[in-house]
């Protein structure tokens, strides 16, 4: 089985071999860009190169970018923990062309790296193209030999934009079929259209052709470019034969810590998770913690601080969501700090900022945890008093005002 670190380096080395410069991930907080809360994809650090505003000394790049999707246009927060593959923090592998190669080479590289370097069987992959993009569909069919009945056409799902404004264009996506155990829908077109778990989008290649200067106004870019993004955790899941990203080696050490502290097993069998609600809830809580622990640790490493507005507020919401789910597992223990310690020891090789800022990360988590647990306890006490009072008055419901106060002030 290929280890995640090997998967990352195989991708980077493949593109280096093909003339790309390896550019390290940027900070999660975009520099000089108020249109975005966080880096939400690999292209963010190259935005001005796509717009023709910045010239770099390379025209091909490859990266593994730290991304956050919580708050803003691409926001996955509420799904996280309950699906097999949504995350607040994830890594995006990507290759980029700034006015250099376009559709033909981009498609060829993608197919070559997936089917030759990573040896993914071709019959596990499907592709999609924008309804207007006959050229891309033709390249997939004629150049790479993909049968027409494995190439599907969509409209909105095959057009990618970074934010409300900025570079954008039609895209072609690659889906991995996890097979019948992962979902009932055997028709891939229907499964992909419905977003069924069985068919997972692993890679999106955007043909950057426009600058959206205000919503709906598209101006052609000076040079058509390529922006690709592959969900690293999804690729690792496919290559490690796991249906859920959480069951890969990327999350295992943190889940192990959670399971030991809670003294509860972490269960992976999809059948058990489908049929036993209490186990599903327990496992989902552990997954929420593992996901959020990564987002929180990386955000703190990159200089965000919990606060009541903007980026700091998103960070605080993620931390508090994690702490609340931790409470569902055990009211006696805290999870985030030991889980973060485990993450730091497993991921610092590729992201040394984690070990450099270890003390800051752990102490900030501890402080926020203590403060929030105190708030939660105060809130619970106030709510219990209120319920006692209402019962003595023979009333059966708590007022909206009290509930709002509980949510707003007491987390």
Nearer to ligand SER, 228 or 340 (CB): 228
Beta strands in 98-236 (DSSP E): 125-130, 151-154, 159-161, 166-177, 199-214, 217-231
CB of 97 to ligand SER, least distance (A): 12
Cβ neighbours, 10 Å, residue 6: 11
User: Which helix (H) or strand (E) covers residue 307, if one does?
Assistant: none
Question: Judged by CB under 6 A, which of 71, 167, 170, 229 binds ligand SER?
Answer: 229
**In whole angstroms, what is the distance from residue 264 CA to residue 256 CA?**
10
Nearer to ligand SER, 157 or 256 (CB): 157
Who contacts 194 (Cβ-Cβ below 8 Å, separation ≥6)? 185
339 scored as a contact of ligand SER (CB under 6 A): no
Judged by CB under 6 A, the stretch of 114-122, 221-229, 266-274, 392-400 that binds ligand SER is 221-229
240-243 LR contacts (CB < 8 Å, sep 24+): 240/1, 240/2, 240/4, 241/1, 242/268, 243/84, 243/178, 243/181, 243/182, 243/197, 243/270
41 scored as a contact of ligand SER (CB under 6 A): yes
Task: Tell me which residue of 213, 216, 204 sits closest to 51, measured CA to CA.
Answer: 213
Q: Are strands 125-130 and 151-154 parallel, antiparallel or unpaired?
A: parallel
Question: Judged by CB under 6 A, which of 39, 110, 206, 296 binds ligand SER?
Answer: 206
Question: Judged by CB under 6 A, which of 71, 94, 191, 338 binds ligand SER?
Answer: 94
CB of 40 to ligand SER, least distance (A): 7
90 scored as a contact of ligand SER (CB under 6 A): no
CB of 177 to ligand SER, least distance (A): 20
Question: Judged by CB under 6 A, which of 43, 127, 236, 354 binds ligand SER?
Answer: 43
User: Which helix (H) or strand (E) covers residue 396, if one does?
Assistant: none
**In whole angstroms, what is the distance from residue 370 CA to residue 380 CA?**
15
Using CB atoms within 10 A of its CB, is residue 297 exposed (0-12), middle (13-18) or buried (19+)?
buried
Question: Judged by CB under 6 A, which of 204, 248, 284, 340 binds ligand SER?
Answer: 204
Nearer to ligand SER, 206 or 286 (CB): 206
**In whole angstroms, what is the distance from residue 186 CA to residue 180 CA?**
7
What residue number has its CB nearest to ligand SER? Answer: 229
How many chain residues are in contact with ligand SER, going by CB under 6 A? 10
Question: Judged by CB under 6 A, which of 4, 20, 23, 42 binds ligand SER?
Answer: 42
Binding pattern for the stretch 160-179 against ligand SER, x by CB under 6 A and - elsewhere: x-------------------
User: 93 and 82 in contact (C-beta within 8 Å)?
Assistant: no
Judged by CB under 6 A, the stretch of 101-109, 132-140, 225-233, 303-311 that binds ligand SER is 225-233
228 scored as a contact of ligand SER (CB under 6 A): yes
CB of 116 to ligand SER, least distance (A): 22
CB of 42 to ligand SER, least distance (A): 5
Q: Could you give the dihedral angle defined by the CA atoms of residues 155, 215, 34 and 167, in that order, rounded to the nearest 10 degrees?
A: 50
Nearer to ligand SER, 202 or 286 (CB): 202
**In whole angstroms, what is the distance from residue 288 CA to residue 277 CA?**
16
CB of 204 to ligand SER, least distance (A): 4
Residues that bind ligand SER (CB under 6 A): 41-43, 94, 160, 204, 206, 227-229
């Amino acid at each position: 089985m290929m280890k995640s670190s090997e998967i990352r380096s195989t991708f980077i080395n493949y593109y280096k071999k093909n003339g790309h410069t390896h550019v390290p991930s940027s900070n999660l907080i975009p520099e000089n860009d108020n249109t975005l809360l966080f880096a939400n994809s690999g292209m963010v650090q190259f935005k001005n190169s796509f717009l023709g505003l910045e010239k770099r000394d390379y025209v091909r790049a490859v990266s593994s970018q730290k991304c956050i999707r919580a708050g803003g246009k691409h926001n996955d927060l509420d799904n996280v923990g309950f699906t097999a593959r949504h995350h607040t923090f994830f890594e995006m592998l990507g290759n980029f062309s700034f006015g250099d190669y376009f559709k033909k080479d981009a498609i060829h590289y993608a197919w070559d790296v997936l089917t030759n370097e990573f040896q993914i069987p071709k019959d596990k992959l499907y592709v999609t193209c924008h309804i207007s993009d006959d050229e891309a569909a033709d390249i997939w069919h004629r150049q790479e030999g993909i049968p027409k009945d494995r190439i599907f056409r969509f409209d909105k799902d095959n057009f990618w934009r970074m934010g409300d404004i900025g570079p954008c264009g039609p895209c072609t996506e690659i889906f991995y079929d996890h097979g019948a155990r992962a979902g009932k829908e055997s028709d891939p077109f229907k499964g992909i259209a419905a977003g069924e778990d069985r068919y997972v989008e692993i890679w999106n290649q955007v043909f950057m052709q426009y600058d959206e200067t205000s919503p709906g106004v598209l101006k052609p870019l000076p040079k058509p470019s390529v922006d690709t993004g592959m969900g690293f955790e999804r690729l690792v899941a496919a290559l490690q034969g796991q249906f859920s990203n959480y069951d890969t080696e990327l999350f295992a050490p943190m889940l192990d810590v959670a399971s030991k502290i809670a003294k509860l097993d972490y269960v992976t069998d999809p059948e058990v998770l489908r049929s036993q609600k209490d186990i599903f809830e327990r496992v989902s809580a552990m997954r929420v913690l593992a996901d959020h622990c990564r987002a929180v640790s990386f955000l703190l490493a990159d200089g965000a601080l919990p606060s009541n507005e903007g980026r700091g507020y998103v960070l605080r919401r993620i931390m508090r969501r994690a702490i609340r789910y931790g409470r569902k597992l055990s009211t006696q223990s805290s999870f985030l700090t030991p889980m973060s310690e485990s993450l730091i020891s497993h991921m610092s090789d590729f992201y040394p900022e984690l070990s450099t800022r270890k003390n800051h990360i752990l102490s900030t988590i501890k402080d926020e945890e203590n403060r929030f647990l105190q708030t939660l306890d105060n809130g619970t006490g106030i709510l219990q008093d209120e319920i006692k009072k209402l019962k003595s008055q023979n009333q059966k419901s708590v007022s909206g005002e009290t509930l709002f106060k509980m949510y707003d002030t007491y987390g």
